[in-house]
Structure 1
Amino acid sequence: MDDDIPYLLLTPGPLTTTRTVRAAMGTDYSTWDVDYNNIVQEVRSALVGLATDQDGYTATLMQGSGTFSVEA
């Protein structure tokens, strides 16, 4: 764990994040940006690749809390 994190946050609630995650959160992305869409497509492809090696599948990213993901 990074030395700059004074304590460990546990769920539910805000989670402890690494320095690299906090740095990435400092960049604003728009859903119209090519960079943003490339990142989303890479994540979606990687998720599908974890589940299957067959064509014809996709992943849909949804934003929400842990409870939201359970309900989805």
Structure 2
Amino acid sequence: MMACVNPDGTLTSSAKALLIAIQDQALTPEDISKKIGQPLFKVRSSLRDMKSGGFVEAQGDEFIISEGAKKLLARSQ
């Protein structure tokens, strides 16, 4: 199981915060780190997990939320 998803299939609080940060605009890992108050190494690690899980998509140096993750986020709010 990925670090961004709880055993019950819901998003972890840090994953939810990250997705909320990029739901309206693409951001770099540095910008995400500042916006959500998480250390950059943690944000980069989460982004790797979330990219391999299909939650985020890379656009150059920036990341955006995937359509599937938007639906998951909407259900979890």
TM-score, structure 1 normalization: 0.26
Which has the bigger relative contact order, CA under 8 A and spacing at least 6? Answer: 2
Could you say which structure has the higher strand fraction? 2
Could you say which structure has the higher helix fraction? 2
Larger Rg, first or second structure (1 or 2): 1
TM-score, structure 2 normalization: 0.25
